[in-house]
Each structure stands twice: as structure tokens, then as C-alpha cells.
């Protein structure tokens, strides 16, 4: 993942697997105006998200509602991400909590500065 800071937003260049397992590059922009944004996947709305900084400016929270088509049935997943700098600014920690009808899933990701 590559992160670039701009005035009022972050640009994230990420690579993630597609449904057939191929790695696909994509770019996301996180704007900090707390307005809901909608992302399109192949022209179909798939994700709504908002991002905001904490009052102390030390953490960023991203709230997302994602939908997936699973065997002809739409499944919703609500995701909360908490981003913060760690290791004296040399790494970013991302705590991810996802909730859906199948339960809750939590993971901790750490990205080192290069």
C-alpha cells in the first residue's frame, strides 16, 4: 500500500485480490469532511464510507458499509477502521472491525514506512 497526503485527503494505492484471485490495483481517496462517499465497482454502487480525524489529531476513523452479491443475495458488511501512527511515525497501525450477518471479524494490520 502506498499512501500520499494531500490537503484535506489521503490517496491510497492498494492491490487486492479479485473474485477470481487475480491481484488488481486500485486507488482510494479518503476525504476528511465527514460526507458520505460512494465507491463504484464495475459501475455498481458497492461501498459507502466516511472518514474523520479524532479531536486530538492522532487517529483517523473510517466507517464503511459494503455490499456483496453472494449467490444472488445481497449481503451487507459494516466496517470500522482505526488508523494511527506507531513506532515514532515509522509504521501505521490499522485496527479493522467488520460486522455482518455471519458475525464479527477483527484484524490488526501494520504497515511499515519505506
pLDDT tens column, 44-99: 555 778 888 888 878 988 888 888 778 888 888 999 999 998 998 899 999 999 99
Rounded Cα gap, residues 38 and 47, in angstroms:
6
Task: Retrieve residue 114's grid coordinates.
Answer: 519505506
Let me know: does 11 contact 28? Beta carbons within 8 Å.
yes
Q: Model pTM?
A: 0.72
Q: Is the dihedral of CA 74, 78, 39, 23 positive or negative?
A: negative
Q: pLDDT, tens digit, for every residue of 13-44? A: 878 777 788 888 877 777 777 777 766 554 55
Q: Is the dihedral of CA 89, 83, 57, 9 positive or negative?
A: positive
The domain ranges of the chain are 34-112
Amino acid at each position: 500500500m502506498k499512501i500520499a497526503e494531500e490537503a484535506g485527503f489521503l490517496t491510497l494505492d492498494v492491490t487486492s485480490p479479485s473474485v477470481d484471485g487475480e491481484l488488481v490495483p486500485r486507488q482510494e481517496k479518503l476525504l476528511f469532511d465527514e460526507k458520505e462517499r460512494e465507491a463504484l465497482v464495475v459501475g455498481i454502487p458497492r461501498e459507502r464510507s466516511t472518514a474523520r480525524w479524532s479531536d486530538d489529531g492522532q487517529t483517523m476513523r473510517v466507517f464503511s458499509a459494503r455490499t456483496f452479491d453472494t449467490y444472488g443475495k445481497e449481503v451487507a458488511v459494516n466496517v470500522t477502521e482505526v488508523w494511527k501512527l506507531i513506532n515514532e511515525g515509522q509504521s501505521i497501525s490499522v485496527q479493522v472491525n467488520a460486522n455482518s450477518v455471519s458475525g464479527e471479524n477483527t484484524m490488526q494490520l501494520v504497515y511499515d514506512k519505506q
